[in-house]
Amino acid sequence: MSDLFNRFKRVKTFIFDVDGVLTDGSVNALDSGECFRTFYIHDAYAIQHAIRTGFHVAIISAANTEGVRKWLTILTVKDLFMGGPNDQKINAYLGFLTRDSLQEEEVLYMGDDIPDYEILRRPALVSTCPADAVDEVQATCDYVSPKIGGRGAVRDVIEQVMKAQSVWFNG
């Protein structure tokens, strides 16, 4: 049994970035000035299933748009740490751990770019990224999903963890 599999067995909390993880990183700008992002329904289903099964799911993102916030609320994600400078993600992360008395070895974080690097390099947490994450992030992560951001990377890590814990669908 691999060390990563054993680490997946201890995960109780998933934390995801938005742009490049829950989305493909594209921001579509309309003539009205509104911007929108596209989410992948398979990722959404896995998030909802994880929450229903008792896992804690949180979001840490520098982006702070009402549409993204509404979508995550529909998915029943309660802990949304959105807005603020990219270089302050670590503060949101550490504050969340402290506030909820979380053990870092029970946390899985998925990020894709340099603003996530400081969190991802923490040795106790299970660090993951999509297949199209920047090289520096891929080099530091415990697990690189074969799926790209916004197209199944989130579902992949949720499935991996839930299968390790024998709580994914059994047919």
Q: 19 among the known binding-site residues? A: yes
The CA distance from 29 to 65, in Å, is 13
Contact 152, 123 (CB under 8 A): no
Four-residue CA torsion sign, 54, 111, 106, 145: positive
Residues 6+ apart with CB under 8 A from 8: 108, 126, 160, 161, 164, 165
The CA distance from 8 to 115, in Å, is 24
Q: 113 among the known binding-site residues? A: no
The CA distance from 17 to 23, in Å, is 9
Q: 112 among the known binding-site residues? A: yes
SS3 of 94, please? helix
Mind giving me the DSSP string for 119-136?
A: HHT-SSSEEEE-TTS-HH
Q: Which residues are annotated as a binding site?
A: 17, 19, 112
Q: Which residues are annotated as a binding site for substrate?
A: 19
Q: Which residues are annotated as a binding site for Mg(2+)?
A: 17, 112
